[in-house]
Amino acid sequence: MTLRPSGRAASYAFLAGYLLHTVIAFLVWQTWGDMGRGIVLSWIDFPIALAYVHLDDTPFLTASLLAGGLQWAVIAALLTLFLGRTVRRGA
C-alpha cells in the first residue's frame, strides 16, 4: 500500500519531529546541570511532562524521550497536514 503525498509528508514529519526532540533532549540532558535540565525538559515537553515530572534521572529522561518525543512527532505531523491542506486550497 502506497501513501498519498500528504500521508508520506506527514510520516516524514512525524519521524523528523521525533528525532529532533531526541537530539534536543539528549543535548539538554548532557549540557545542563542536575537542577536545570529537568526544568528545561519539562518546559519543552509541556503539557505531557505533567504526567512524569515526579520521576528522577534516568526514568525522567526515558519518559521524556518516549512521551515528549511522541507529542512533538504528532504535532509535526498534524502541522504538516494542516499546511498541506492550506496550500492546496489557495492554488
Q: Which residue has the higher pLDDT, 42 or 90?
A: 42
pLDDT at 57: 86
CA angle (18, 79, 3) in 5-degree steps: 75
What does DSSP assign to residue 1?
A: -
Output the pTM of the full model. 0.85
- Pseudo-torsion of CA 42, 45, 46, 50, nearest 10°? -60
Residue 36 has pLDDT above 90, yes or no: no
Q: How far apart are CA 67 and CA 48, in angstroms?
A: 7
For position 67, what pLDDT does the model report?
Answer: 95
pLDDT for the residue 35:
79
CB 11 within 8 A of CB 80: no
Kindly indicate the confidence band of residue 69, based on its pLDDT and cuts at 50, 70 and 90: very high
